[in-house]
Structure 1
């Protein structure tokens, strides 16, 4: 039996465009690709099919899609999706919470994060005892802002604990006629 290790996604760093060299859409001497193929009109179904076919073979398709979403790119076919197909993803991007991105950031990589992922980084950093200075460096913020984020998180955790109903034991159901000595508490 062969075991196969699945490695986690490697997310591109902020400003990293080196992935484009591995893209199938890059025209080379041996693989001439017309860039206009990726910018078809809505009624040019042959161009759309050709572009999607190329994207289907691309090793950096996911990275291309992420770059288009993170950069707000709404033109052309990117990551195997048309402008219309990416539309709903653009709307959902702010709520994306990909823990592999959070873990990469905690590990020191410079990854583009959504608001939800930034909150998750703060929470994970706090749980793992990451200093405020390190959090500031990870999120590219000031130390004062990192202190504020930790202070808000501590307050939220404390309030969450206070809002939990306390588990108090209720007295057993009894009818008044059969009360015994053990049914009453002792006064101190």
Structure 2
């Protein structure tokens, strides 16, 4: 079954990959480079610098953008978005499994946003359901055409397998409950025939 719908939802509040305009609105913007390095790229045991950096990030208006940038680019050092590198590890470890539908919707609206493996797979599946061509999807994701063709072929197999068995369980349930096996109704005739045939063949062999 295929559905083609119109997406009239508002544009997600996500920045493109090349959009760094949020830098100038950060609380750390204009800070002396030596002081910024000491606070945000501190030594491992400099807890005082960590605390001061987090106080600076607490009131930053672009703290979320800073965090998203660090996670999307897998930055594994320094304080970004008010979190240290160790505190960002859970997000970095599960980055490929992240499924943010705001990013999926933004991608369909032409925004150049970072997509995880799960989000890109969702985009491919929805594009196939919408009847998009591989060339259009490749242009949308700025990806290799042959690679997109392979992904859309895999998506087609997955969706066809899903549609092939869609509703079979409901159809079986609609027909009523299946009768339970009763020992009195089970016929063991074929079992006897097989047994007699086996005995006869063994007798001939003897």
TM-score tier by shorter-chain length is 0.7 to 0.9
Match of 2:28 in 1: 25
Q: 1:30-52 CA deviation, whole Å, 9 max, x = no partner?
A: xx682021122333222211111
- Where does structure 1 lack aligned partners over 5 or more consecutive residues? 1-6, 177-188
User: Does the 8 Å CA contact 2:66/2:81 hold for their aligned counterparts?
Assistant: yes
The 3 A distance-change label for structure 1 pair 96 and 171 is: closer
Distance (Å, rounded) in 1 between the aligned partners of 2:111 and 2:124: 15
State the TM-score, normalizing by the size of structure 2: 0.70
Greater CA deviation, 132-141 or 158-167?
A: 158-167
Distance (Å, rounded) in 2 between the aligned partners of 1:171 and 1:89: 47
Equivalent position to 1:11, from 11, 14, 18: 14
Matches within 5 A, 1:1-188: 9-27=12-30, 34-35=35-36, 36-164=38-166, 165-166=168-169, 167-168=171-172, 169=175
The 3 A distance-change label for structure 1 pair 140 and 38 is: same
Distance (Å, rounded) in 2 between the aligned partners of 1:9 and 1:42: 37
State the TM-score, normalizing by the size of structure 1: 0.76
User: Does the 8 Å CA contact 2:39/2:53 hold for their aligned counterparts?
Assistant: yes
Structure 1 runs of 4+ off > 6 angstroms? none
Distance (Å, rounded) in 2 between the aligned partners of 1:25 and 1:44: 19
Distance (Å, rounded) in 2 between the aligned partners of 1:160 and 1:91: 30
Relative contact order, higher structure (CA 8 A, sep 6+): 2
